[in-house]
């Protein structure tokens, strides 16, 4: 899925309010700070915090927590104050001079470390010393959504021509009066582009180009906040700006394309499947809609006897209609069976038991036009004999909680595919981490979702915003070719082919 890069861009565009309207964009300014010390954090970051000015911090992960350096507690505090912490290598060495194995470590390790240290996956990456080439960028795409250069174009990025992997930024010139920098910020807002500014150190040595005077720094932050408060500019993190500024890929230079392709062929992939049981309304309103926005497929297990033909039948509107189920199918989803009446299978009289297995095949074939091959037992309740009967009619049987959803790709039992139920005590970061681990461990990870709600989640429900973040993460990892998000049926086909 998501093989077409434009599907992704479209998905992002569709989520933006106001896109398609012909009004001009209010420009964005993003403050970034690189390689800061504990002292900077203590003395200068409060200037941003006090004015409610967000931004993005980039730092290599190796020194985190060492004497004089910031630690994870500071980074978590930073995130609480509306900032983000992005990757900047592990050692801060020049990536262009590393061999492939070392490059992979320097790119991948910070993502894992930052995720572990903060539970927030870093979406962007700044190359140490601004040293990058095509090879660095292609491999960075595996882990990140965006790459910031060290400098370029005075930090100006246009809405219509920004490659998210070549975002320009510029060190604030320490010789310029704050008024002039302020005028740049105002201009970005007025002319409608994205200006990315950079700071390293605050101090009074004008001969050090990376050191900005305290007075200048404080005046610039204050003025930016004032302009923002007057509606003259938007101030955001890089992460948020990426949602507002479309990605316009720059053409890959001739000759470098091959490097990118070869690099990708070596990576191992995890398989991830999204499944829903019961065919309830929120699974359509949020489940399908949000997944569709990201171009992700899944498997919907339906109790065929409980579905309605039309939306205005008098049984209430809790269950989906056949028409809605067909919409799932037409969006690339697999339709599986979840019994006929959603009754527990063990202990049923033979005739009723047969009906629970046979009726879904007939009904789904008749109403959707596809024969179901996957079966999920209602309530996850089954015996060995029941599975044996199911397997005479279906190709795959899914349990509820088996294997915690982590099915080893080299040892799959089609009679007993385990699922991980996503519950409301899990964060999106936890679930995202599960997907990363699936890729590392050669696992087919199968998620089970029940209810999705915009209100406080009850048992068997998760918040729509969390579901959205999980889908976003799945789409990002899929696009980076770390995982493949596929239906149960397609996952089994992929596994069988290996």
Residues of this chain that interact with Zn ion (CB under 5 A) are 34-35, 128, 277-278, 378
Place of tokens 């999204």: 274
Asked whether 161 and 168 are in contact (CB, 8 A), the reply is no
For the CB of residue 221, give the shortest distance to Zn ion in the complex, in Å.
21
Q: Residue 129 corresponds to which tokens in the numbers above?
A: 């010393």
Q: Report the residue closest to Zn ion, judged by CB.
A: 277
For Zn ion, the closer CB: 81 or 94 = 94
Residue placing its CB nearer to Zn ion in the complex, 378 or 405: 378
Identity of the residue, 52 or 347, whose beta carbon is nearer to Zn ion in the bound complex: 347
Q: DSSP readout, 36-72?
A: -BHHHHHHTHHHHHHTT--EEEEE-STTTTSTTB--H
Beta bridge partners of 21: 19
Q: Which is nearer to Zn ion, 298 or 378 (by Cβ)?
A: 378
Least separation in angstroms between CB 304 and Zn ion: 13
C-beta of 237 vs 377, nearer to Zn ion? 377
Apex 467 CA angle, 463 and 471, nearest 5 = 170
Record the tokens describing residue 217, joined without a space.
Answer: 């720094």
CB nearer to Zn ion: give 151 or 161: 151
Q: Output the CA angle 321-322-328, nearest 5 degrees.
A: 100
Using DSSP, state whether 116 is helix, strand or coil. helix
Q: Give the whole-angstrom CA distance, residue 238 versus residue 218.
A: 21
**What are residue 228's phi and psi, to 5 degrees?**
-60, -45
Smallest separation, CB 383 to Zn ion (Å): 17
In sequence order, what are the residues at sequence separation of 6 or more whose Cβ sits closer than 8 angstroms to the Cβ of residue 395?
373, 374, 414, 489, 492
34 vs 468, beta carbon nearer Zn ion: 34
Cβ atoms of 38 and 70 within 8 Å: the answer is yes
The encoded tokens of residue 186 equal: 């105002």
* Cβ nearer to Zn ion, comparing 138 with 277: 277
Question: For residues 130 and 192, which CB has a smaller minimum distance to Zn ion in the complex?
Answer: 130
CB of residue 150 to Zn ion, shortest distance in Å: 8
55, two tokens = 């931004």
**Of 49, 117, 50, which is closest to residue 87 (Cα–Cα)?**
117
**Shortest distance, CB of residue 398 to Zn ion, whole angstroms?**
11
The C-alpha atoms of residue 164 and residue 239 are separated, in whole angstroms, by 11
**Minimum CB–partner distance for residue 92 and Zn ion (Å):** 6
Q: Least distance (Å) from Zn ion to the CB of residue 35? A: 4
The rounded distance, in Å, linking the Cα atoms of 416 and 391 is 10
Closest separation in Å from C-beta 87 to Zn ion: 11
- Tell me 285's DSSP state: I
- Rounded distance between C-alpha atoms, residue 256 and residue 265, angstroms: 15
Q: Considering beta carbons, is residue 148 or 482 the nearer one to Zn ion?
A: 148
Q: Kindly state the smallest distance separating residue 91's Cβ from Zn ion, in Å.
A: 11
Q: Is 303 left (phi over 0), alpha (psi -120 to 50) or beta?
A: beta
> CB of 194: closest distance to Zn ion in angstroms?
21
Give the separation between CA 372 and CA 149, rounded to whole angstroms.
Answer: 50
Q: State the Cα–Cα distance between residues 397 and 413, nearest whole angstrom.
A: 9
């Amino acid at each position: 899925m998501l093989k077409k890069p434009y599907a992704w861009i479209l998905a992002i565009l569709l989520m933006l309010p106001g896109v398609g309207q012909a009004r001009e964009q209010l420009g964005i300014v993003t403050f970034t700070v690189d390689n800061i010390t504990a002292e900077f954090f203590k003395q200068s970051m409060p200037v941003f915090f006090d004015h409610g000015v967000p931004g993005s911090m980039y730092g290599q992960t190796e020194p985190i927590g060492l004497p004089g350096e910031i630690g994870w507690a500071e980074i978590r505090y930073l995130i609480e104050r509306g900032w983000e912490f992005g990757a900047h290598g592990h050692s801060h060495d020049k990536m262009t001079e590393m061999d492939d194995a070392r490059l992979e470590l320097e790119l991948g390790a910070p993502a894992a470390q930052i995720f572990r240290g903060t539970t927030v996956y870093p979406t962007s990456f700044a190359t140490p010393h601004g040293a990058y080439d095509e090879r660095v960028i292609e491999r960075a795409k595996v882990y990140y959504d965006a790459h910031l250069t060290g400098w370029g174009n005075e930090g100006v990025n246009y809405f219509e021509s920004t490659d998210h992997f070549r975002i320009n930024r510029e060190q604030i010139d320490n010789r310029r009066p704050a008024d002039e920098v302020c005028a740049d910020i105002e201009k970005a807002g007025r002319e409608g582009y994205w200006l990315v500014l950079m700071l390293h150190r605050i101090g009074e040595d004008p001969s050090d180009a990376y050191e900005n005077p305290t007075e200048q720094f404080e005046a610039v932050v204050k003025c930016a906040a004032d302009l923002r408060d007057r509606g003259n500019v938007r101030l955001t993190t890089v992460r948020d700006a990426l949602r507002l500024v479309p990605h316009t890929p720059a053409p890959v230079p001739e000759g470098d394309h091959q490097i990118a392709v070869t690099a990708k062929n070596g990576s191992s992939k995890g398989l991830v499947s999204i499944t829903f049981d019961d065919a309830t309304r929120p699974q359509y309103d949020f489940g399908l809609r949000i997944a569709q926005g990201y171009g992700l497929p899944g498997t919907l297990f339906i109790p065929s006897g409980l579905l309605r033909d039309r939306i205005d039948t008098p049984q209430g509107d809790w269950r989906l209609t056949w028409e809605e189920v067909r919409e799932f199918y037409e969006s690339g989803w697999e339709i599986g069976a979840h019994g006929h009446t959603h009754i527990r299978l063990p202990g049923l009289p033979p005739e009723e038991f047969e009906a629970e297995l046979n009726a879904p095949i007939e009904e789904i074939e008749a109403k959707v036009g596809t024969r179901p091959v996957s079966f999920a037992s209602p309530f996850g309740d089954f015996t060995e004999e029941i599975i044996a009967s199911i397997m005479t009619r279906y190709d795959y049987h899914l349990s509820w909680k088996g294997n915690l959803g982590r099915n080893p790709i080299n040892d799959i039992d089609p009679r007993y595919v385990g699922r991980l139920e996503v519950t409301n005590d899990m964060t999106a970061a936890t679930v995202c981490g599960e997907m990363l681990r699936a890729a590392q461990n050669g696992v087919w990870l199968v998620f089970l979702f029940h209810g999705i709600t915009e209100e406080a989640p009850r048992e068997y429900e998760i918040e729509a915003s969390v579901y959205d973040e999980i889908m976003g993460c799945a789409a990002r990892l899929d696009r980076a070719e770390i995982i493949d998000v596929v239906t149960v049926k397609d996952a089994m086909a992929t596994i069988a082919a290996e």
